[in-house]
Structure 1
């Protein structure tokens, strides 16, 4: 079964859900999930579920078979039976920091216009790996350029294109190591800015802030050499 992704409304913090099934490993499959499942370099959401007669902490969410999203309890628990209606509540502070960081990493890929070979979103620190044979000349200037983009308070929106449209526009894909998921008939695009102010457009399934100013100021934490041509640029949220 395919779980309906309530997390597409990234600012939704609580919602009901209907239990559809359990997994052999003790996970819970809902008809609709507020929890983002691990993917695209972004960790799965954590939080809590509660139902009549019980409750459980959720450590993370992962992708299951056939489009299912599986909630993973943080401790062994008597699972709510299929058909149970429960309440889902996110660890909002953690999710919102992921939203800020993920959007900041999209902007990092703008100020470093090189192919991306990997990446990871974190609540405190995130990073992108670039096909970058030589180190950037001025890390301070790079940080200032990134913060200048953030301060423009650009709108962050999404759109959808077909698999065929994506195949016809390969330049939309910045990541070399992870290809956007296809086979469902359409692919989500995340756009930063609009019209003459558009600065970025790329496939992405993650959660993002609505405007770049929500990110706040960031710092370049470290630039490391990772292999012959790869360099890792790590950033941190200042607050």
Structure 2
């Protein structure tokens, strides 16, 4: 009998508010710790991976410093342990509680939603992005100049308008029928699953996105444009930061 393929159930895709879950260890290898289910978001789509901790009922735990899609085990996620972590007690079948760094996730969600607001204000294709706990940036394929104050004011307006933010799934055929939904030139929606996850900010933005977000634009809070750079003749980089740097996660 052929063994069932190893996969990780990605709980964060349908509920980004989950901060922890119980899980079973499937494998421990050079890439990290593979679980049967997780709340940890892996690096992808420009968004940094989650950090946090895996903990057993007897108190033993492992600090997780990053999360990545496993390159050698398709369909699984590798939870990357701290370099000095003791993994000797982790074996396939071990039950653990997977708990993410809530402050880091909240920062990612705020910034990621803010980049969608920025996309609504700058109607040009995106050819690069990065979303971390300390800043976010989008590279727009355009030649026209952009103004920091105008964009900061525009983001503040959309935040204050408190637009609901939600995700839903559409078929690949629906996406093919609406190619304008894809704004990114550098990251294309994954194919082959038959469906594509889209992020909708009611009345503001709709595009494919697999990242984590806040539930309402009001939850983005005070975000400002800290820098605009001309990276090339056809690239304008916009960098976002929190207006309350003292509260920024470390």
TM-score interval, normalised by the smaller of the two chains: over 0.9
Query: What's the offset of the Cα at 1:134?
Result: 2.1
What SS does the corresponding residue of 1:226 show, helix, strand or coil?
strand
Moved more, 150-159 or 72-81: 72-81
State whether structure 2 residue 66 is matched by structure 1 residue 57.
no
Pair 187,26 (structure 1): closer, same or farther in 2 beyond 3 Å: closer
Aligned residues: 233
- Taking the aligned partners of 2:151 and 2:214, their CA distance within structure 1 comes to 22
- 1:132-143 alignment runs, 5 A limit: 132-136=142-146, 138-143=147-152
| Counterpart among 200, 209, 218 of residue 214 in structure 2 | 209
CA shift, 1:26, in A, is: 5.0
Instruction: Establish whether residue 46 from structure 1 lines up as the match of residue 51 from structure 2.
Output: yes
Matched, 1:94 2:104: yes
Matched, 1:126 2:131: no
Q: CA deviation at 1:2?
A: 2.0
Q: Structure 1 stretch 159-168 or stretch 99-108: which is displaced more?
A: 159-168
Deviation at 1:165, TM superposition (A): 1.5
Would the aligned equivalents of 2:12 and 2:41 in 1 still touch at CA under 8 Å?
Answer: yes
User: Matched residues in 1 for 2:193 and 2:138: separation?
Assistant: 27
Partner residue of 1:177 out of 181, 186, 204: 186
Q: Which runs of 5+ in 2 are unaligned?
A: 1-5, 245-250
Distance 1:164 1:67 in 2: 23
Q: Which runs of 5+ in 1 are unaligned?
A: none
Q: 1:216 and 1:106 mapped to 2: Cα distance?
A: 14
SS of 2:104's equivalent in the other structure is: helix
**What SS does the aligned partner of 2:232 have?**
coil
Secondary structure at the counterpart of residue 155 of structure 2: helix
TM-score after normalising by structure 1: 0.94
Matched, 1:15 2:25: no
Post-superposition, which runs of at least 4 consecutive aligned residues in structure 1 deviate over 4 A?
none
Aligned to 2:80: 72
CA–CA distance in structure 1, aligned partners of residues 57 and 225 of structure 2: 47
- Residues 94-136 of structure 1: per-residue CA shift (max 9 Å, x gap): 1101000000000000011111111110212101000121212
Structure 2 distance, partners of 1:85, 1:150, is: 41
In the alignment, the residues of structure 1 paired with residue 32 and residue 153 of structure 2 have an alpha-carbon distance, to the nearest angstrom, of 44
